Structures are given as structure tokens and as C-alpha cells.
Structure 1
Amino acid sequence: MVDSTAAKVARSAKAAAKADAGVLVIGLGRFGSAMAMTLDRLGQDVLAVERSPALVAHFSDRLPIVEADATNPEALDQLGARDFSVAVVGVGTSLEASVLITGNLVDLGTEQIWAKAVSAEHGRILQRIGAHHVVFPEADAGNRVAHLVSGKLLDYIEVEDGFTIVKMRPPKETQGFTVAQSKVRERYGVTIIGVKSPGQEFVYAEPETRISVNDLLVVSGHSDLLERFAARP
């Protein structure tokens, strides 16, 4: 689940990166390594920084990587951190290290700093010292899994401010009807944006798209409304 959050942040970091600059990923724990691997898979130039010799050896054949202590501003300067417009601080278990690294990147003038936080207090500190984006992988994963475990949802992605996209089975009242006939938007305040039939390609939902019992629906809306719709038999 942490990997899912890392992938989302990686796509955002890639979009923010300049065409002539890569992304600096500091710390190769679960979140940082998932970030670096995803960025690499997306075709983004990435440089990983890790101070653990064991982790450096583990990832050396998969990623461009430098062994360095990023809490030392001189080490960051020597490895060329100024050349990166986007940096990701994947260190979370050590609050002191996380804050020092983020502060060093702020001092270097890094244009976009994404920093992992493990608590609300940690996040507030990172924002106050200059992190542009603070992410909470564990909290995001816990929220997502809670929705999957407690209801009929097959997948759950909260985008922002409660707006959510889910994958779910169609309630009985929609089966055999078109999207227009089911009147889901009018009745429940959510929007069917796609339908996936067994053995068929995903299609964007049109008013005339017919929903079958074995289909999968991709639905968007506020999380509370989606939970109400998904709870229908």
C-alpha cells in the first residue's frame, strides 16, 4: 500500500521536474525505494542517495545511487544536489535526519521538495522549514485499506478534499440498465466514469453504456456518497 502512494507521488514529482533535470531521492527505505524505482520506470532521470552501505549495495545494480549522508550540507553540495529541481526526502523514521535534510535542500534552493512525514506534528515541522509537499504514506495506506476492508469497494483512491475514485461491483438496481436509466448521479450524487466487462477493454461510460452483473464500475464522487452507493445490495 505504501508503494501505491509512492507511485502517485512519483508521477507528480516527474511532472514537476524540468526537462533537463532529474529527481533526487534521499533515503531508500520502503517509500524512498518505491519512489526511485517508479520514477526510473516512468523514464525520469533519478539519482538515489543513501547512507547505508547495505542498501547502496542492494540497489546499486538497479538505480543510479550515491552513498552519502544527506544531513551533511557539504555532502549534498558535492554530489550535485543543486542541479536537481525536484527532491524527495524519503527518510521518516528519524525526525532529526528528515528535518536536517529538508532544511539543507531549502538552503540549496531546491524548487520542489517532497518530504515524507510519519505524524501530523512531523508534517507541520517540515512545512514550516520549507517543504513544498508533505506526504503521509502510512496514513494514506491505512485510510485506503480501511475503506476496502469495511465495505464492498475493490479499490479506493482519494484524490483531494474528499473527492475519491473507487472500483466496485454494480449494485443490483443498476444491473441490466444503461448509465442513463440507472440515474446514479441523480439518486446518489456520484458519477460512473468507466465500465470494465469481463474479457473486454475498459470503456469510458456513456449514457447508453449498459451495466451487466459481472461488470466492474469505476465511480467518482465524495467518499461519503460513494460509501452509501457501494452499500446498496
Structure 2
Amino acid sequence: MRTVLESSRNDARAARERRERRPEVDRTAVLVIGLGRFGAALATTLDQLDRRVLGVERDPDLIRTWSGRIPLVEADATNPEALEQLGAREFHTVVVGVGTQLEASVLITGNLVDLGVPQIWAKAISAEHGRILERIGAHHVVYPEYDAGQRVAHLVSGKMLDYIEMEDGFTIVKMRPPQELHGFTIGQAQIRKRHGVTVIGVKAPGVPFQYAVDDTRIDAEDLLIVSGENALLERFAARP
């Protein structure tokens, strides 16, 4: 019994020491693992936004491609010791951009979970892949190809220029106004009553964005920000 108690105490002491040794996490820092199309686009955009970002890649060709363009390091993130050495614990957010190599994706995500990374975003290429990542502890799973295809399908089906789907079927879109609205104010057009959607704002060329009120006039060159249910917005955007 004494041996079991001593072992338990030692384990608790070791866990406490690991917590105490944990470096302070930079909440603005993002570690991007995998510099394929998805990871590279993400890392370069974060760098342009002046976020502290570090790319990790093991392919020498990709290292040469991105060297000097973004901060990066050559390492194999499937090796937990490599993640320790590059300071993965210091990052609040880590994005696993590896998708096509399923085993590597799962191993890297598992390593990050073991390190206690606060926010792990992982790319998945299928629903099954995503479920595995969620089960081993990824906080957010993204499906870039599926999401992009779904978004583009909405954009090509009408006058939509941008499309953001929220929750419970609620969506916000940027679109050109249907012809029947040209020259009318929002109050005159009775958009909410006739179409079931709400114009949030109007952006005319060369004029600052303005929130929509009944007296806001709509012209052919304007951009509308409209919210509502998906099906209603699709019908509204499809009007000539």
C-alpha cells in the first residue's frame, strides 16, 4: 500500500512540476503546421495582419519556396520532441494544415493535445477524418475544400458576391440589388415584407458604407448587405 501511495504522490508532484514549468503562452501567436496551399495561405495572411506566426514544414522544397517570405522552421511535427524543441507550448493557437496524409494529421494533433495547446485547429478532408480529429481532442475542425465549394455554389447561383452562413440557417450576403429595387428607397420597396429578408446596409461607389434605414435609396451600382434565412436569400438574390 505504501508503494502505491508513494507512486501516486510522485505522479501528482511530477504533474505539478510540469504545470509550473509551462512557459507563458502568447495569446496572439499562431503556429501553422504544414505549408501546402491551405497552410501557406493561412500563414501569409496572418503575417500580413501583423500576427506572430511561425510555419512548420518538413518538405525541403516547400521550405525553399517560403523561406524569407514568412517565419518558418523545418521540422517533423509527428515527432513530439520536435514540437517541444520549436516551442509549440508557447503558442495559444496551432493550426494543423496537414490533410492528405491522414496518419501524420492524427499524430500531430495528438501530440498537440498532449502538450496542452489551448486552441487546436485541424484541417480535415472528409467527415470520417474530422470525427477522428475531434475524438482525439482537436478544438476546431475545418473542411476547406467542402466549405469553399459550398460557398462558391451559392455565389454562382445569383447576384451574391460574398456569403457567410451563421447558425440555424441564418446567413449574411453581399450582393447586387435586383432591378426592381433600382431607384427606390428601402421603405418604398418594402423588402422585408415582400421578400422576408433584411437589408442591413448599402455601399454606393465612392461613398462610405451606411446602415440601411427606410429613406436609404438603392441604385444599380450599389452593394447591399442582406441578412435572412438561406432559402429566402437564395430566392431574393436570384431575382432579375
Alignment TM-score, normalising by the size of structure 2: 0.85
Matching residue's letter, 2:61: A
State the match for 2:180 in structure 1: 173
State the match for 1:205 in structure 2: 212
* C-alpha separation in 1, matches of 2:88 and 2:137: 16
* C-alpha separation in 2, matches of 1:130 and 1:51: 23
Decide which of 37, 40, 47 is 2:54's aligned counterpart: 47
State the match for 1:157 in structure 2: 164
| Secondary structure at 1:38 match in 2 | helix
| Secondary structure at 1:33 match in 2 | helix
Task: For residues 7-33 of structure 1, give each alpha carbon's deviation from its aligned partner in whole angstroms, at most 9, with x where no partner exists.
Answer: xxxxxxxxxxx6555111100011101
State the match for 1:96 in structure 2: 103
* C-alpha separation in 2, matches of 1:92 and 1:62: 23
* C-alpha separation in 2, matches of 1:178 and 1:150: 26
RMSD: 1.5
Aligned residues: 216
* C-alpha separation in 2, matches of 1:159 and 1:109: 29
Structure 2: tracts of 5 or more residues without a match = 1-24
Matching residue's letter, 1:119: S
Matching residue's letter, 1:99: V
Larger Rg: 2
State the match for 2:9 in structure 1: none
Is the CA contact 2:204–2:223 (under 8 Å) kept in the aligned structure 1? Answer: yes
Is the CA contact 1:176–1:210 (under 8 Å) kept in the aligned structure 2? Answer: yes
1:130 correspondence with 2:141: no
1:231 correspondence with 2:233: no
* C-alpha separation in 2, matches of 1:34 and 1:187: 41
* C-alpha separation in 2, matches of 1:28 and 1:204: 40
Identical aligned pairs, as a percentage? 71
Matching residue's letter, 1:207: D
* C-alpha separation in 2, matches of 1:151 and 1:173: 15
State the match for 1:27 in structure 2: 34
Alignment TM-score, normalising by the size of structure 1: 0.87
1:83 correspondence with 2:100: no
Report which stretch shifted further, 55-64 or 196-205: 196-205
State the match for 1:56 in structure 2: 63
Decide which of 183, 186, 192 is 1:185's aligned counterpart: 192
Matching residue's letter, 1:65: L
Could you list the runs of 4 or more consecutive aligned residues of structure 1 that deviate by over 3 angstroms after TM superposition? 18-21
